[in-house]
Amino acid sequence: MNCPIAVRSKTPRVPHPTNRQRGFPVVLLAFTWLALSSPAHAVSPPPDGGYPGFNTAEGTSSLQSLTTGEGNTAIGDHALALNATGSSNTAIGVSALTGNVSGDHNTAVGAFALEHSKASGNTATGFEALFVNTTGFGNTATGGDALLNNDTGSNNTANGIEALGTNTAGSDNTASGAAALQNNTTGNDNTATGFQALLSNTTGPDNTATGFDALRFNTTGADNTANGFQALDSNTTGSENTAVGIFALASNTIGRNNTAEGSGALGNATAGSNNIAMGFNAGLNLKTGSNNIILGANVPGTASDANTIRIGKQGTQTKTFIAGIRGATVAGGVGVTVGTNGQLGVATSSARFKEAVKPMDKASETILALKPVTFRYKQELDPDKIPQFGLIAEEVARVDPDLVGKDEDGKINTVRYEAVNAMLLNEFLKEHAKVRELERQIQALTAALQKVSDRLELRNKARPQLVVNE
C-alpha cells in the first residue's frame, strides 16, 4: 500500500563519537525524546502490518488507491488496487476485487475473483469467481469460474466450478454443483442442484432442478420442477412440468403441464401436454399424446395413447374398490362393460361404428340350447350366499363360443349377457311374428265362420215354416 503520510524510521539514532563528552544528560535526553515521539506510519515501500482505518494490505499495489475506506483486507498482487472509499472488503488473491472503488462488504478469495466488481455485498471464492461482475450485488460464488460472467445480476448463489458461469443479468438464481446453470444469461429465480443441472438454461425463469443432469437442456422453459437423475433432461422450451424420479420426463422437449412421479415415469414422452403419470415406468411408452392419466407401477401405456386413463396393470391388480358408486342413482345412465384388455366403456350401438350389418335371423336360435340355472357364489366371493340366476360360462361356450368372455390368460371367465339379451329379443320377435300370423289366421277363420253362420241364418229364415195343428 502506498500511503501519502510520511513516517519516521523506528531505528534509534547512534551518538557521534566527538560528542561523547557531553555525558549522561545528553543520553538521557535522547531516550526521553524517543519515548515521547509519535508512532511510526507506513512509507513507500510499506512494511508488513496494518494501516490506518483498520486496513490491511499485503502485495504489490494492493489497496494502493485507498482514501477513506476502512476495515479492508487486501492480500495479493493488485488486490483491491483501485479501492478508494469502499469499506469492509476482503480480497485475497492476485487482482481480487481490483476494480472495486466504492463497493462495501465484498469478499473475494481466489485469483481474479470479483476483479471488475464495483458493487457491494458480493462473495466470491475461487479462481475467477464473479470475475466480470460490475454492478451486480448480493451474489455468492464458490468455485472456479462460478458466476464468471455475471455483470449486473444480483442475489445469485453459485456453488461449484462454472456454476452460473455464463450468467450476465439473471438474478435470484441458486446453483449448486459443477456447471449447474452454467449457460444461464438472464433467467431469474432458478434453482439448480447437481452436476449440470439446468446446464443449458439461458432465459428460462422459475425452474427448479435437483439431480445430475436434471433439466440439463432447458433453455427458455419456465416454471419446471425436476427432481432426480436426468429428470426432464431433454426439456428445452416446455413449461409448467413436474418430474420426480430418475429419468422422469427425460425425453420431454416442448410438452407443457405434465406431471411425472416415479422412476422412468413418462420417460419417452416428447411433446405431449397435460399428462399425469405416477409410478415406476408409468406411461413409459407414451410419445406425443396429451391429456392422459396413468397410475401404477409398470403401467407403460401405448405410444398412441391420448385422452386415456389407465389405473393399475392388467394381471397385477385383481380387485378394484371405488367408493361412491354402490347405491348411487344416476338418471339416464348406461351399463359399463369391461373389454378383454381391461378397458372400461359402454357397448356403443350407433350405426356409424358398425359394418356388415344383417338380420340375426336363425343365429339367435343358439340360445334355445342354453340351460339357465340357479346358484350361489362360493364363500370367498359372496359370504352372504345370495341366490343367483344365470348361466354357466363353460356350458355356454360349448353351445356358442362367441357368447363368453375370457381373462388375460385365455380362460373362460364370463357370459356375454348383453349378447344373450339381443338374441333373446330376436327369438321373441320371431315368436311374436308367429303369434301375429296365428292371430291373423284366427281372425280370418273367425271371419269365415261368421260368414258361414250368417248364411245359415239367412237360409233358415227363408225356409217355409210348418205349423202342426192338433
Give, in degrees to the nearest 5, the angle at Cα 270 between 265 and 276: 40
What's the rounded mean pLDDT across residues 133-143?
A: 97
Q: What is the pairing mode between strands 73-75 and 55-58?
A: parallel
Cα 278 to Cα 281: distance, rounded to the nearest angstrom = 8
pLDDT of residue 38: 37
Residue 345 confidence (pLDDT) above 70: yes
- Residues 6 or more apart whose Cβ sits within 8 Å of residue 137: 119, 120, 121, 122, 154, 155
In angstroms, the Cα distances linking 188 to 154, 164, 200 are 10, 11, 14
β-pair partners for 344 = 338
Residue 4 confidence (pLDDT) above 80: no
pTM tops 0.85: no
Q: What are phi and psi of 333, to 5 degrees?
A: -75, 165
What is the H or E stretch that residue 27 is in? helix 24-36
455 pLDDT tier (thresholds 50, 70, 90): confident
Cα 362 to Cα 423: distance, rounded to the nearest angstrom = 10
Residue 42 confidence (pLDDT) above 80: no
What's the rounded mean pLDDT across residues 280-296?
A: 98
The least confident of 25-39, 130-144, 287-301, 346-360 is 25-39
Cα 267 to Cα 247: distance, rounded to the nearest angstrom = 6
Higher per-residue confidence, 460 vs 272: 272
The least confident of 11-20, 208-217, 257-266, 401-410 is 11-20
In angstroms, the Cα distances linking 154 to 139, 165, 239, 390 are 6, 14, 24, 76
What's the rounded mean pLDDT across residues 91-100?
A: 98
What's the rounded mean pLDDT across residues 223-227?
A: 98
Cα 195 to Cα 366: distance, rounded to the nearest angstrom = 70
Which cell numbers in the block locate residue 76? 495479493
> What does the DSSP assignment read for 125-136?
ESTTTT-S-SS-
β-pair partners for 293 = 276, 309
Give, in degrees to the nearest 5, the angle at Cα 394 between 393 and 395: 90
β-pair partners for 392 = none
Q: What is the pairing mode between strands 404-406 and 225-227?
A: unpaired
Q: Cis ω on the peptide bond leading into residue 387 (within 30° of 0)?
A: no
Residue 29 confidence (pLDDT) above 90: no
84 pLDDT tier (thresholds 50, 70, 90): very high
What's the rounded mean pLDDT across residues 388-416?
A: 93
Residue 47 confidence (pLDDT) above 80: no
pLDDT of residue 384: 92
Cα 344 to Cα 320: distance, rounded to the nearest angstrom = 13
Calculate the CA dihedral of residues 292, 293, 296, 297 and round it to 10 degrees.
30
Residue 368's CB is within 10 A of a number of other CB atoms, namely 10
Which cell numbers in the block locate residue 46? 510499506
The least confident of 41-55, 113-127, 266-280 is 41-55
Burial class (CB in 10 A: 0-12, 13-18, 19+), 194: buried
pLDDT of residue 17: 33
In angstroms, the Cα distances linking 437 to 36, 74, 360, 443, 445 are 145, 116, 20, 10, 12
Domain locations along the chain = 360-452
- Residues 6 or more apart whose Cβ sits within 8 Å of residue 432: none
16 pLDDT tier (thresholds 50, 70, 90): very low
pLDDT of residue 44: 47
Q: How far is CA 84 from the centre of its chain?
A: 50
